[in-house]
Amino acid sequence: MKIVSNGLWMMTSHSRPALFNSPLETGIRSLEILVAAYPAAFDLERLVEMDYLVVHSGDADGPESLHAALPMRAGELLIRRGLIEKGLLLMTSRNLIQRIPAEDGFDYIAGDAAAPFLSSLTSTYSQRLKERAQWAVERFTGVETSRIRQITHRLFENWSSQFQAIDRSRGNQ
Amino acid sequence: MSSSYLQLRRIAFSGPKKMAEMTFSNGVNVVCGASDTGKSFLAESLDFMLGGSELRDIPQRTPFGEVQFDLDVTSGEKWRFYRASSGGNFKAKNLIEENAEIEVLKKDHGHGKIDNMSGFLLDKIGLLGKRILRSKKKGSTQSLSFRNLARLAIVQEGEIQQTGSPFWGGQYTLKTAELATIKLLLTGVDDSDVVETKWVGTNRAKQIELIDELLADIRQEIADVGEEEAGLIAQIGRLDGTIEQRRKTLNAIQAQLDSLLAQRRELVDVRTAIQDRLDEIADLLTRFDLLLEHYAVDIERLTAIQESGAMFAHVESVPCPLCGASPEAQQHDAACDGDVEAIVQAACAEIEKIARLKGELQATVADLKSEAVSQEQELSNKNEEYENVNTQIQETVAPTVSEERASFSELIEKRAEVQKGLDLYARMAKLEERKISLEEDEGEEGSSGAIASGLPDSVAHDFSLRVSKLLKAWDFPGDCLVHFDKETTDFVIDGKPRGSRGKGLRAITHAAVTIALLEYCLENDLPHPGFVVLDSPLLAYFKPEGDEDRQLQGTNLKESFYSDLINHHSTDSQIVIFENQHPPDSVLDGLSMTVFTGNPNDGREGFL
């Protein structure tokens, strides 16, 4: 029975990447964050932090985490920045998000069609996502991105920031 | 010096339900009656109460556990002694001093000490601490014991008719000592002076001396044990039986305990196994709950993807905001994993797949939960079993085992103690054997070189005259010329050795020698027990043997015998005579008489 149950676990883990954290999913998450933040604009770095906080809100004393706790959560981090970037690009292609140049790089801001589009989504998951995005934006309004990163670093402990460093180096390539 | 003498007053057998007693007065006491009425047993009882080692076990003795014995000393003391009829030490009570404490007197003689019956009695008659010669050759001596005197004062039926000298009991090795005892009584001089010479003797004498010291120590230890050898042997036999029985019981109960302990260990193992499985199930259930949670979230998430993908497909593409390329020219689908339509479709399929997995997992969880319930039940059963076994061990079996073990080791200890006592007897026997063999060697050498010892000629002559005078007074047939033959240490009467005469003559002459000794000592103020007990001196009248004995029956010896005794013994001396036949009527006034009729309907049937 043990083997069978492990098999179940592995099968789900294996089949996940194709759908989960796809540009569509990460794009929708970024879109929710930017709509909640509107009219503020976030750069990629802040969106990565906010995305983490939305998904793992429970860890940061927020609402119950959107995703269940998973020992292998570090796996997500490896590819988060790249995935988020791809999602942003997909959303930009439909004009749901606009990329605007700023002094220190690009910022992203929700487009005009973003809010009506999101309000058409009625699934439970979408509702919960919306709540957490609103919580995260409200909770961290006026908090420096570097400060937020300190918080997520603390949540992840040292190993997580190492993955993040790898993540960033890949993202910068 | 004025000597003190002992007087028998009373002997009584007492038991929880009955008491049999016999009193004695000064002068001549006669106990007469048919055979098997306890006369000889009574004579033996007197000897037993004067330090004899054991009492014949007759059926009539059974109801009586204790023997009491009253003794007067002519100096004015009155004593009562107590002794278990099975033997052992004595208790002595002073009947004059009211508040006197009861003293314990050991049954074995110790030289110069009055903490034992022998020394106590010797002290009363002024013979305490005397030594008598044991070996002529080596000049070794031994401590005088009351036992040396007792056989001269109490003459049992078997002894009175024996062929040997009245002075010695027949044991060759004791001959010197027995003669030395007579010499001490007749002369009042002991052999203490000889002590010095014994150290110049050979190694053998020293060995004997050493053995004597060892024997004295062992006798002391045996006295402390306070049990006869036969009693110890019987005791160890009983103990061995009990030990064997107990060992079996102990083994059986130990086996029971072992089996229960094994059962308990097994139950602990089973319990641990069940608990391990329960922990494992709990662990699995926790993980499966997490997995189910994941499945639920995944399904929700996929539903959201499906929905948002479907919606997303309706949002119009715009030219690239950066490069201005038309949507058609952009290749999101291929380049950016942006094939939304395919994603929506895959999400549908994935939802179904996860739903199926979730179902399977839920079934597994249900199985595990039901297994947990049955394991819990099993665990509670095993707990109950464990408690039962444990209670049985702790409250019943284990205490029984430790009790059994304790009483078993108590028995083993007791056995070791008894064995120790027996070892003492064994050592004593070995030493005595060694001593006898040394003395026999000595005796052989001694016989070759004649050493002046025994009775001085003048004393032997005087004493022989005394015996002669008695025999004449008793109307003994013949001239009654008596002389002492040093070689045989016996008397020759009218040219015939005493021992060569018939049984009846041997008995009456033995009585004559015994009474002569008493009278000689009394007249010369020499130490003597002061009383004489004779079992059947007039044997010829009851059981004549040969013509000589029948001749005796024709004379008036019987009357003369009694009247002479009555004339000479009234106040300070005492003579107790056991006889089958009544004394003649003519003498009855002068003596105390007890008759054992042997008939339950007439007077006193017997002693006990």
pLDDT of B302-356, one tens digit each? Answer: 899 888 888 888 887 776 655 666 666 555 544 445 577 778 888 888 888 888 8
The answer to whether the Cβ–Cβ distance between A15 and B353 falls below 8 Å is: yes
Residues B247 and B370 in one domain: yes
Residues B189 and B258 in one domain: no
Which residue among A24, A67, A113 places its CB closest to the CB of B309? Answer: A24
Q: How far is B376 from chain A (nearest CA, A)?
A: 19
Assess whether pLDDT exceeds 50 at residue B196. no
When divided into structural domains, chain B yields a total of 2
In a domain, B330, yes or no: no
Cβ-based contacts of B360 with chain A (< 8 Å): 8
- Is the whole-model pTM more than 0.95? no
The answer to whether the Cβ–Cβ distance between A93 and B294 falls below 8 Å is: no
Residues B402 and B541 in one domain: no
How many interface pairs between A and B have CB atoms less than 8 angstroms apart?
Answer: 125
Residues B487 and B566 in one domain: yes
Residues B378 and B480 in one domain: no
Cβ-based contacts of A1 with chain B (< 8 Å): 284, 364, 367-368
Q: Are B220 and B191 in contact (CB under 8 A)?
A: no
Q: How many H-runs (helices) and E-runs (strands) does chain B carry? A: 16, 16
B399: CATH: 1.10.287.1700
Q: Which pLDDT band holds residue A73 (cuts at 50, 70, 90)?
A: low
User: Among the three residues B390, B406, B440, which one is the final residue of a domain in this structure?
Assistant: B440
User: Among the three residues B383, B408, B440, which one is the final residue of a domain in this structure?
Assistant: B440
Question: Helix A74-93 crosses helix A44-55 at what angle (to 10 degrees)?
Answer: 120
In a domain, B476, yes or no: yes
Which residue among B294, B308, B318 places its CB closest to the CB of A24? Answer: B308
Q: Which two tokens stand for residue B441?
A: 């060697």
Question: φ, ψ for residue B8 (rounded to 5)?
Answer: -75, 135
The answer to whether the Cβ–Cβ distance between A123 and B311 falls below 8 Å is: no
Cβ of B17: how many Cβ atoms within 10 Å? 7
In a domain, B459, yes or no: yes
The answer to whether the Cβ–Cβ distance between B305 and A22 falls below 8 Å is: yes
Q: How far is A100 from chain B (nearest CA, A)?
A: 9
Residue-level pLDDT at A2: 34
| Pairing verdict, β A105-110 and A42-43 | antiparallel
Between residues 28 and 57 of chain A, which touch chain B (CB distance below 8 Å)?
Answer: 28
Please tell me which residue, A38 or B320, carries the higher pLDDT value: A38
B477-501 tens-digit pLDDT:
888 889 888 877 888 888 888 888 8
Residue-level pLDDT at B324: 61
Q: B348: nearest CA in chain A?
A: A19
Q: B70 forms bridges with which residues in the sheet?
A: B10, B80
Q: A99: nearest CA in chain B?
A: B321
Which residue among B308, B350, B360 places its CB closest to the CB of A8? Answer: B360
* Average pLDDT value for chain B: 84
The answer to whether the Cβ–Cβ distance between A122 and B307 falls below 8 Å is: yes
Which residue among A95, A117, A128 places its CB closest to the CB of B318? Answer: A95
Cα–Cα distance measured from residue A25 to residue B593, given in angstroms and rounded to the nearest whole number: 141
In a domain, B273, yes or no: yes
Cβ-based contacts of A18 with chain B (< 8 Å): 346
The answer to whether the Cβ–Cβ distance between A68 and B343 falls below 8 Å is: no
Assess whether pLDDT exceeds 80 at residue A69. no
Cβ of B85: how many Cβ atoms within 10 Å? 20
Residue-level pLDDT at B330: 57
For B242, the domain range is 231-315+337-440
Q: A65: nearest CA in chain B?
A: B297
Residues B487 and B573 in one domain: yes
Q: Which two tokens stand for residue B402?
A: 């430790």
The answer to whether the Cβ–Cβ distance between A25 and B305 falls below 8 Å is: yes
The answer to whether the Cβ–Cβ distance between A67 and B297 falls below 8 Å is: yes
In a domain, B460, yes or no: yes
Residues B261 and B112 in one domain: no
Measure Cα distances from B583 to B42, B73, B249, B593 in Å: 19, 28, 65, 9
Residues B380 and B507 in one domain: no
The answer to whether the Cβ–Cβ distance between A68 and B350 falls below 8 Å is: no
Measure Cα distances from B230 to B54, B87, B126, B242, B319 in Å: 10, 11, 34, 18, 131
In a domain, B311, yes or no: yes
Q: In what order do the strands lie in the sheet with B6-14?
A: B19-23, B6-14, B66-73, B78-84, B90-94, B103-105
B47-63 tens-digit pLDDT:
999 988 888 888 888 88
Q: Give A129-171 as a 3 state SS string.
A: HHHHHHHHHHHHCCCCHHHHHHHHHHHHHHHHHHHHHHHHHHH
Cα–Cα distance measured from residue B283 to residue B266, given in angstroms and rounded to the nearest whole number: 26
Q: In what order do the strands lie in the sheet with A105-110?
A: A42-43, A105-110, A97-102
Residues B279 and B388 in one domain: yes
Cβ-based contacts of B312 with chain A (< 8 Å): 24, 28, 94, 117
Residues B40 and B182 in one domain: yes
Cα–Cα distance measured from residue A154 to residue A162, given in angstroms and rounded to the nearest whole number: 12
Alpha-carbon dihedral angle through residues B476, B458, B573, B76, given to the nearest 10 degrees: 180
In a domain, B93, yes or no: no
B144-187 tens-digit pLDDT:
889 888 888 899 888 888 887 887 776 666 777 888 888 888 88
Q: B301: nearest CA in chain A?
A: A125
Assess whether pLDDT exceeds 70 at residue A27. yes
Which residue among B301, B306, B330 places its CB closest to the CB of A20? Answer: B301
User: Among the three residues B388, B409, B440, which one is the final residue of a domain in this structure?
Assistant: B440
In chain B, the percentage of residues whose pLDDT exceeds 90 is 20
Residues B435 and B467 in one domain: no
Residue-level pLDDT at B30: 92
B487: CATH: 3.40.50
Residue-level pLDDT at B334: 43
